[in-house]
Amino acid sequence: MYLKKGCSLLLKVQKKSLPFIVNPTSNVEQLNGQTGKNSVDLKESDVLKRLKYEENISTALESFKWVANSSSFKHTPLAYKIMMEKLGKQQEMDSVQYLLQQIKLEGISCSEDIFISVIDAYRRGKASEQALKTFYRIQDLGCKPTVKIYNHLLDSLLSDNRFHMINPIYSNMKKDGIVPNVYTYNILLKALCKNNRVDGAQKLLVEMSKKGCSPNEVSYTTIVSSLCKFGKVKEARELAMRFTPATPIYNALINGLCKVYNTKEAVDLLDEMSYKGVDPNVITYTTILNAFADQGNLGLSFAMLSKMFVRGCSPNIHSFTSLIKGNSLMGRWYEALDVWDGMVKEGILPNVVAYNTLLHGLCLAGNMNMALSVCSAMKRSDCHPNSTTYSTLIEGFVKYGDVSKASEIWNRMMNLGCRPNVVVYTCMVGVLCRNYMFEQAYCLLDNMVIENCPPNTITFNTFIKGLCFSGRIEWAMMLYNQMERFGCSGNTTTYNELLNGLFKCNNLTVALQLVREMEDKNIEFNLVTYNTIASGLCHMGMLEEAVKLVAKMLVRGITPDVLTFNILMDAYCKGGKVESAKQLLNAMNQLGLRPCFVSYTCLIGGMCNWISLEAAICCLQRMITDGIPPKISTWNVLVRHLLSKIGYRSALQYLESILAAD
């Protein structure tokens, strides 16, 4: 594994605060075009223009400070506002607070616009609590709270998901005698919906109307979108019918329908829009197009694209990316490339999402050379690969067995300074486990923590699977016991991998302890769990317990698959209970399950050992009649039995006669 020397992704350079003590010998001619004067009368327009259009924040602050120290001009509230906005965009919050203090010292009243600039600066920096602390100083700064200030503060809290602070501020607003407007209510509606309180949002909608504040398009769209998100499309539709729906509301309804793949009703809504004179936009068409692509109905996807062109709505990058994704998932990467070419001809430059979508399709199809070519083209077009790009390539190479190339991609990513995410790290853990480099894989877990990208349960499951596959069950159990140290907990897959490894090592005691632990922790038993335990019990000669387990599985509503039947059939045949195995084969057919060659091979082996060769041959003929071709392992069972009974030459002649008869 390659790690860049002397480089840690955790070592972030601390941003230095801008100095406020500057050299007062700045070039005043930059402000007024004059030189050689100590005191020059400056116009407000000149100062504001200089501050507004200066791109370098340090230079802008130096000019601001020079003017403040001179006797030629006294900064106005507008000058402070512009400087606050510039500093806020650069997240120089210490400087913003300094200017607030300067406003107070100079006796300038802090205007509504200045205060809003401060709040918005904190919102950009995801520091809503600091915005709230500044708000509590509003009177001290000579500013009175207004509905606009409250709205910006509430929006800051909302963007930072500080739901518990929103209601107290809203209550405080009403105590101050400030009447909320439609923007206030819309922020509250969004807060309730984001907090999964759609019922509360609907009640607030009624309150708005009662207080004479008519809900607008944003109000209804917020609730309709939220209802659709929770699958309540019918309820959302009923709400939308109470007013004249606009395009965004139709889009929300169509998106809700498409999420549950109700594309027929979505298309009906599209037609309704045209009937009611509401113009669909690119979002409307692309949502339906994407749903068709996800369903594998590419014909209808292309039909929707054609409809867009006919109605004069130009597709965007998302439209084409949906078609590329749909073709890729169906293994039609030639068609995906054709869509790509069509997108470029339309003058739409592909972005990193489009490139990654195409790469994913090529990797799914195993066309790794083409994927590498696309990655190279991506760099030439000045579209920088991201962690998703590299993880897609790594997964692709790992899937097709080229572990060396996967490691090469990892090293390339590290050399380019692209920070791996948890998906990429997990891929590399899998790569190292496939190479039996378990020590290096364990070091990678520690490295993930150091780089502030801690491993998740999937990462541990990948590692545990590799250890169990190689028979290192003790190490796998130790790793499982360390998961909590990394903030993770085992899930069904974790236990399935461990149980499989324990049964293979004949460690029945610990395996059964894990089964009890799953029950105590209410960990879900899925079909794989039951099959793993049943196989382990049969391997340990505990057939009766395995049968009871399958019965319990049926009671819990989990339908057995072919593997479940094969496990029991194999155990019955090895124990001489061939008739019971034959009954299971018939039961499979009754459940609509198609037996595989393993099912018949187990039965043929049992008949050879416990009944007769003739019975085994009859079973073989039934197998062929059912359209299941015997494999080498099937013939090996018969050959071994014949060799033990009649010798090599006679066995060969016997089998040739059977094949000739068929």
DSSP of 175-242, one letter per residue? HTTPPP-HHHHHHHHHHHHHTT-HHHHHHHHHHHHHTT----HHHHHHHHHHHHHTT-HHHHHHHHTT
Tell me which of 7-16, 74-83, 365-374, 647-656 is least confident: 7-16
Quote the pLDDT of residue 289. Answer: 94
Q: What band does 4 get if pLDDT is binned at 50, 70 and 90?
A: very low
How far is 322 from 300, CA to CA, in rounded Å? 13
Quote the pLDDT of residue 32. Answer: 45
DSSP E strand boundaries for 244-373: none
What's the mean pLDDT in 2-7?
34
Q: What band does 339 get if pLDDT is binned at 50, 70 and 90?
A: very high
Quote the pLDDT of residue 651. Answer: 62
What's the mean pLDDT in 348-370?
91
355, 389 in Cβ contact below 8 A? yes
The phi-psi region of residue 262 (left if phi > 0; otherwise alpha if psi is between -120 and 50; otherwise beta) is: beta
Tell me which of 9-23, 190-204, 438-452, 642-656 is least confident: 9-23
pLDDT at 24 over 50: no
Quote the pLDDT of residue 655. Answer: 63
Structural tokens at position 543 = 């057939």
Tell me which of 5-9, 54-58, 169-173 is least confident: 5-9
DSSP of 64-125, one letter per residue? HHHHHHSSS----HHHHHHHHHHHHHTT-HHHHHHHHHHHHHTT----HHHHHHHHHHHHHT
Determine how many CB atoms are found less than 10 A away from the CB of residue 352: 14
Q: Which DSSP category does 662 fall into?
A: -
Quote the pLDDT of residue 236. Answer: 87
pLDDT at 648 over 70: no
Quote the pLDDT of residue 41. Answer: 64
Q: What band does 36 get if pLDDT is binned at 50, 70 and 90?
A: very low
Model confidence pLDDT, tens digit, residues 373-405: 999 989 888 888 988 899 899 888 888 878 888
Q: What band does 44 get if pLDDT is binned at 50, 70 and 90?
A: low
Q: What band does 562 get if pLDDT is binned at 50, 70 and 90?
A: very high
Quote the pLDDT of residue 31. Answer: 47
What percent of the chain is predicted at pLDDT more than 70? 87
How far is 186 from 99, CA to CA, in rounded Å? 32
Determine how many CB atoms are found less than 10 A away from the CB of residue 97: 15
Model confidence pLDDT, tens digit, residues 582-619: 999 999 988 889 999 999 999 999 998 899 888 988 99
Quote the pLDDT of residue 206. Answer: 86
pLDDT at 28 over 50: no
Q: What band does 577 get if pLDDT is binned at 50, 70 and 90?
A: very high
111, 85 in Cβ contact below 8 A? no
Helices (H), 543-625: 543-555, 562-574, 578-590, 597-610, 613-625
Quote the pLDDT of residue 653. Answer: 65
What percent of the chain is predicted at pLDDT more than 90? 36
pLDDT at 492 over 90: yes
How far is 150 from 377, CA to CA, in rounded Å? 49
Quote the pLDDT of residue 503. Answer: 93
Quote the pLDDT of residue 29. Answer: 45
What's the mean pLDDT in 546-556?
92
DSSP tally for the chain: helices H, then strands E: 37, 0
Model confidence pLDDT, tens digit, residues 214-273: 888 888 889 888 888 888 888 888 888 877 778 988 999 999 999 888 899 999 999 989
Model confidence pLDDT, tens digit, residues 510-538: 999 999 999 999 999 999 999 999 999 99
> Which among 633, 625, 559, 630 is positioned nearest to 596, based on CA atoms?
630
pLDDT at 14 over 60: no
Residue ranges of domains in the chain, CATH in brackets: 41-171 (1.25.40.10), 180-292 (1.25.40.10), 456-560 (1.25.40.10), 572-662 (no CATH)
Tell me which of 233-242, 322-331, 478-487 is least confident: 233-242
Tell me what the pLDDT averaged over the chain comes to: 84
pLDDT at 7 over 60: no
Quote the pLDDT of residue 658. Answer: 60
pLDDT at 78 over 80: no
SS3 assignment for 401-436: CCHHHHHHHHHHHHHCCCCCCHHHHHHHHHHHHHCC
Model confidence pLDDT, tens digit, residues 436-463: 889 999 999 988 988 888 999 999 999 9
